[in-house]
Structure 1
Amino acid sequence: MDMLNHENLQRIYHHACSTYPEECCGFIFADGTVHHGINIQSELHHRQPDIHTRTGANGYTFSVADTLAMNRSFRSSNPVAVIYHSHPDVGAYFSHEDASKALFMGEPAYPVAYLVVDIRKGHAKAAKLFQWNGRCFACVQEIHTNEKDSTAQIRN
């Protein structure tokens, strides 16, 4: 099954647009089901700004319920395969912060790919899929939206 099919991309783009100007976050299970997560980064920042210096505008943290669901999935027949989040007004790239959250002791914390969505002024423009190549997270797929009909054009 193609987890990044047109319908799933539209679900993810809609999620990203609905949370703009903050980042969205979620994941896609191996069976293709999209789970819209809840970004609690601004709440964490509000409670402890000295510890959580980023807000939801430039960071994401899954809710406890989302984190538990994701971790449980890895012990099931339908594990999370892709974690996604948006980058409002800065482009789709795998940031230093993204890598820091995705790694534990220099190795991937989860056996997943990462989709980063480029949201500009509340509209989805593109997305990039990143996978661990043994040294770093590298872009393995670029997806550009067609603004006229909201379809995605995938480039490997």
Structure 2
Amino acid sequence: MNSRFISLLPEHLQIICSHAQSTYPEECCGLIIGNLGREGKTVMEIMPTENAWNTQAGVFSSEPTIQSTRRRYAIAPQVMLQAQKAARDRSLNIIGIYHSHPDNLATPSECDRLYAWAEYSYIIVSVQNGKAATVKSWILDDHHQFQPELIENII
């Protein structure tokens, strides 16, 4: 089921943007915890994580690490498992992943698409010269192509 929107509180966006600015010029990443509904997803928690690309790159590719954390991100598998268990203990799910694009657009890269999971939302924040700029959310369609997902602010 692909939702057409993701609902979150202004403080959730603030956590994502602050994390993105604090790691600039590296990419930040983290997990989006919440509920899946019939029409969309509701964010309950934002969980910043370490960008483990430099330590996990070999897991994802047999090629040497050409890119660094300036252009790639990875969340360590053990972090994903621990977060998934903690979320389930509270009747929640991992509903997405966020990351930043330093000095680039908030548009998914081909690498983002290759490693994306169909059920997740992907929030990307563009960080220009150290300041969070555009924030967009994306979901995969049935052809494993990214489509925009509306971000709804819960007031």
Same-fold status (TM-score > 0.5): yes
Per-residue Cα deviation, 1:4-34 (whole angstroms, up to 9, x for no partner): 3211000110000000000000011115111
Structure 1 window deviating more from structure 2 (69-78 vs 58-67): it is 69-78
Q: Does 1:122 align with 2:126?
A: no
CA RMSD, Structure 1 to Structure 2 (Å): 2.7
Q: Does 1:39 align with 2:51?
A: yes
Contact 2:20–2:27 (Cα < 8 Å) also in 1: yes
Out of 114, 130, 136, the position equivalent to 1:100 is 114
Q: Residue type of the partner of 1:62?
A: I
Q: Residue type of the partner of 2:74?
A: T
How much identity, in percent, do the aligned residues show? 29
What secondary structure is seen at the aligned counterpart in 1 of 2:115?
helix
What secondary structure is seen at the aligned counterpart in 2 of 1:22?
coil
Q: Does 1:140 align with 2:140?
A: no
Greater relative contact order (CA < 8 Å, ≥ 6 in sequence): 2
Q: Residue type of the partner of 2:120?
A: V
Please state how far the C-alpha of 1:81 moved relative to its aligned partner. 1.1
Contact 1:40–1:61 (Cα < 8 Å) also in 2: yes
Report the equivalent of 1:85: 99
Q: Number of aligned pairs?
A: 136
Unpaired segments of 5 or more residues in structure 1?
A: 144-153
* TM-score of the superposed pair, with normalisation by structure 2: 0.75
Unpaired segments of 5 or more residues in structure 2?
A: 1-5, 35-42, 58-62
Q: Distance in 2 between matches of 1:44 and 1:112?
A: 20
What secondary structure is seen at the aligned counterpart in 1 of 2:44?
coil
Report the equivalent of 1:65: 78
Per-residue Cα deviation, 1:108-127 (whole angstroms, up to 9, x for no partner): 3xx21110110011100011
Q: Does 1:28 align with 2:32?
A: yes
* TM-score of the superposed pair, with normalisation by structure 1: 0.75
What secondary structure is seen at the aligned counterpart in 1 of 2:26?
coil
